[in-house]
Structure 1
Amino acid sequence: MNSLSATYSPDDNKLRLYASTRLDAETYQRVRAAGFKWAPKQELFVAPMWTPAREDLLLELAGEIEDEDSSLLQRAEERAERFDDYQGKRRSEATQASATADEISQAFHMGQPILVGHHSEKRARRDAERIENNMRRAVRLWDTADYWEHRAAGAVAHAKYKERPDVRARRIRQIEADQRKRERTKADSEKAIKAWSVDGLTMEKAKAIANFDHVSKSFSLAEFPREEPASQYEGPMSLWSALDGGVINAEQAREISLRVHRRSIAWAERWIAHYTNRLAYERAMLADQGGIVADRTKPEKGGAVRCLFAPGFGRGWAYIVRVNKVSVTILHNYGNGGRNFRQLVPLDDIKAVMTADQVTEARAAGRLVETEDGTGFFLQEGPATTKQDSTAVAGDTGTATTTGKETAAPAVSTEETEARMKVDAMREQLRQGVRVEVAPMLYPTPAELADRMAELAGVTDGMKVLEPSAGTGVLIDAVKRAAPGAAITAVEWDARLAARLRELGHSTAQGDFLTWAPPAGGFDCIVMNPPFDKGSDMTHILRARDMLKPGGVLVAICANGPRQNERLQPLAVHWEALPAGTFKHAGTNVNTALLVMHAP
């Protein structure tokens, strides 16, 4: 059995329907037609505002309408918690997408063109597309996380805003206006009922009354049969037109109008009762908060107020020239050099109040800086020395009973700041477009292996280090991490890669290492991952070994094949077969080895 309960919350003027099980199709359609929407996270139906029809439906379904247990702020905080959960999930997914992009392009630096040197250009372009797609996904998910973060903050801020005394006072003013409107509707219907209830109603009197009583109805031939020349039109028409067209007589017009206006009065009375209850609640809550600023310090002529139209766009004070029932009158100048204008400021729009005595005391203390147009003044901590224009004084202070307090921005963690910077870098990279540049025989060294090579080389600050096949600079970066003060020389035959390395601040010679003329004196250590094509790794390694200083160390990667085992392994002081698939990320599964040689 489905158990239904209903609640009403005066905080937000909303009706809620709770169901223990799924509604049947007919009831669901009725609830939806009445304007209720399903809130899945709260597991309830909610209507945007109270209406008599919605109240009747809930009374029919649930039997009674109870008060909502949770306050507006509590519901906002629960909503913010859900939004925070959404935000956390999107942040996690964004991090995962970013990590996927990093894994594919681990040899390349964020913010630079992705230089792909796979032996298959088709694979290179496919990987570039995967990188771009994951980058786009990471940026999109990060933006979505930001959206939910702002929604969470906004939900709580909006609830707190609605509870502010000045906002509550404006809400009371709007409810009072709505109530007056319903009271006018009721009064108009009562007037019409009185007019139609006269004795001896004739056709002439009926038409005279219908001339101001704007009731309309569709007069079907089945319900109101008539013969020509009476109007045969069955669509909606006013009572006056129906009387004039011979569609109905005076008594029928009276019966129709009385029925309409009695229903209108009953409807208006329900609205009026609802507004009366809302006003009682809002006024009690406002009184409990101590009222608005104007309630705590009564405005008076000769005093001053802070508001939007005060000098300096609200930073200063405007003189009160008159106190009205629900507003004060101030002088305002639009900055056009003309005369001053009178401006009405509602009491609930006032931010702070000074009495006439407080203004007099401040003037006597020399703290008032009058505006040039005479509409108000600014306050200073100490005595004022000169008269200044309203735009010239900053940091104004005053008595101030204000309407709210500023909230400090939440602290942002270092991890989030770094992640946001990375996302911004990806966003910029996507704006520029991910470029594919093919560099044959380029197989970037995995970062972990590069760090191990720098460690085996024993590189320290001040050493002269050579990277004779620099590629994208992975080994250079590893040396920099191990010894920031090392002097590194790089050689790269591909002009585009060499140019990029120079942009990154690395001393790079562009050309073929086998014909490159090294500087005199040799190098303390050499780290390298040479090309493997047709045994060229052996040629490169042996030439590099000749460039070592006495006692120098060379650490290199080579193919782990018969020729390398025969020619290079006898010269190595350390030979290590690397795991299969070490360079799988670069598009090759060639067997490789890590070797260490000393100077000859």
Structure 2
Amino acid sequence: MKAVTVTHTAEDGTLIDGTSKGDGTNVILKAHGWRWFPSLSTWGIRNSRDRAPKRHIITATADALRAAGFDVDIDIDPTARPTALVEADRAARQAARVDALAAKAERRSTQADQAWNAEERAVDALPPGGEPIKIGHHSEGRHRRAIDKAHNATRKAIDATDAAKNAQQRADAAAVTTRARYSPETVANRISTLEAEQRAEQRRLDGHERTLFIHHGFGTPRRPPPLQAHSASRSSPAWQSAPTRSPTGSRSAPSRSQTAPPPITDPTPSP
């Protein structure tokens, strides 16, 4: 029975040791949200450094591994690190990431230049003047291979250029993220947000209840005016009445005398 160990520390996060390629652990770990970290050559849980251990994921993973025939040992250290140490470690990792991405962008750029040089040589090897393929001639095969080679070289050069642009964009984004995180304005906004959340939590602990419509100066609730129901008299003229019911219970439309507006009289007195 193969033994694996799940560990958690504030510095390293949640990792698993003892797995190997082809042992079937990758399927179980992927199903439970684990990720392979190439820089560490091991499986782990994302964003688990300096966080509380995600015990529900750890327990579910351990149960699945035991059901698959593995011997699982769990070692969790929930001790938190000082904030200054956490920020210093984060800044160091971010700086290393920026350097690694910048180096990758440089390599991709060099590969793109080499790919375009190869593309130029492949195009120059084609027959001059755009000579068509001579069907049935002994040069037909060589001509077709030269065209395919030039086409493939152009495709590789374009892909290499796109990869170089992508790597450079990632390097620039990482550098901007590092500068923005520790800029004075960002830090001040973060402090203001935390202070506001702390005040709100303290008010909740003190039993404060927010009341709307408070009349300033008196401290008594000021209720909004009650909503008035829309009646037929507000939505229609006073001279128009609703349909009436006959003694037999059937609804009848209002008569012409009921629906007709009142006559308009001339206010000027007659001579």
What TM-score results when the alignment is normalised by the length of structure 2?
A: 0.48
Higher relative contact order by CA 8 Å / sep ≥ 6: 1 or 2? 2
Higher relative strand content: 1
Rg larger in structure: 1
Higher relative helix content: 2
What TM-score results when the alignment is normalised by the length of structure 1?
A: 0.24
